[in-house]
Amino acid sequence: MKGADLLKFFLSLVVVWIHTGTSDLYGLVNVAVPIFFVLSGFFLFGKIGRGKHDSATVQNWLFKTLQLYLLWTLIYLPFAVIGFRMEATPLLKASAIWLQNVAFVGENYLSWPLWYLLGLLQAGLIIWTCEKLHLPQWGYLLLAALLYVLPYLIPLNQISWYTFIFKSTRNGLFIGFPYMVLGGAIRYLFPAIQGWKKDNPWYKPAIALRFFSIHVYLTHMLWAGMLILLAKMPRGFILWTVSMAICFVSGIIIHKIPKLEYMLYGRNYGS
């Protein structure tokens, strides 16, 4: 989709500000990650094909996403250890909380960006199940609408067993899946929408923006977390600026090392 890479890059900057700044940027905090899900659904359903059921493709996508989620969960693990030590949480209890958060919440101390990857997995599992069951397109829309409105119909955040497991309704069930289906619906309704061709002069800049979008999103709390813990830097413009600067420098280095880029992001954006 032309323009999607520019949009994702802009929204990745917004997400960094949400985590390091002091305002919600006039409500953009509420739309940034949902748009990420819409775009993910647009591209995933494009791989499945117009009106065709293809659970194998979704399964491969799920496997790659799971690999990324587990890898980045391990990368952010030191922050979780620091957080539990600061709270003096006993080892066994800390381990149980960490595993629960990894499985159902998607974030621990200073690892807030990872809930999006878990949300993709949760939503992807529903899509894979729907594909296995050959759910028709209207069934997708009905299920997505039901899951989207369910938290408004039932106060899940007030149900003890639910909040004990999932903490909140900000997850792949009630946000990820509905918005990914919306992206799939856009793909179905507007099949003429295409991305940049490789011979187009805008192709390489678009791919570079795609790489920096995911790199900025996944790494910004690594740098911001270090600045918060080591330099005691408060949230605000300075923290955002320094974090972004480190993101770009580290991104340029990683982009120049194809093996490292592939290991961290599951693909080489320069090829």
Q: Which residue ranges make up each domain of the chain? A: 1-26+197-271, 31-195
- Average pLDDT (209-221) is 94
- Sole residue written with tokens 């949760």: 122
Q: Helix, strand, coil shares of the chain as percentages rounded to 5?
A: 75, 0, 25
Query: Model pTM?
Result: 0.93
| Section 8-26 average pLDDT | 85
Longest Cα separation, the chain: 57
What are the tokens at 216?
A: 């900025």
- Confidence (pLDDT) at 200: 77
DSSP 30: G
Across the range 67-94, mean pLDDT stands at: 96
Contact 126, 179 (CB under 8 A): no
3-state DSSP call for residue 135? coil
Cα distance between residue 60 and residue 88, in whole Å: 40
Share the mean pLDDT of the chain: 91
**Amino acid in position 167:** K
Nearest Cα neighbor of 67 from 271, 262, 269 is 262
Res. 244: pLDDT tops 90: yes
In contact, 188 and 180? CB cutoff 8 Å: no
* pLDDT above 70 coverage of the chain, percent: 95
- Least confident among 19-33, 124-138, 163-177, 222-236: 19-33
- Banded model confidence at residue 226, pLDDT cuts 50, 70, 90: very high
Mean local confidence (pLDDT), 2-10: 84
Is 111:120 a contact under the CB 8 Å cutoff?
A: no
Extract the tokens encoding 247: 């993101």
Give 270's contacts (C-beta < 8 A, 6+ positions apart).
Answer: 207, 211, 255, 258, 261
Given a cut of 70, whether residue 1 has pLDDT beyond it is no
Q: Is the pLDDT of residue 82 over 90?
A: yes
Q: Token pair for residue 149?
A: 């409105």
Residue 26: the pLDDT is 67
pLDDT of 161 above 80: yes
pLDDT value, residue 125:
97
The closest alpha carbon to 213, from 39, 81, 60, belongs to: 39
pLDDT over threshold 80, residue 49: no
Q: How many residues belong to the chain?
A: 271
Q: Is the pLDDT assigned to residue 271 strictly greater than 90?
A: no
Name the nearest CA neighbour of 239 among 11, 20, 16.
Answer: 20
Q: Quick one: pLDDT band at residue 188, thresholds 50, 70, 90?
A: confident
Residues 6+ apart with CB under 8 A from 61: 44, 47, 124
- Give the pLDDT confidence score for residue 208 in this predicted structure: 87
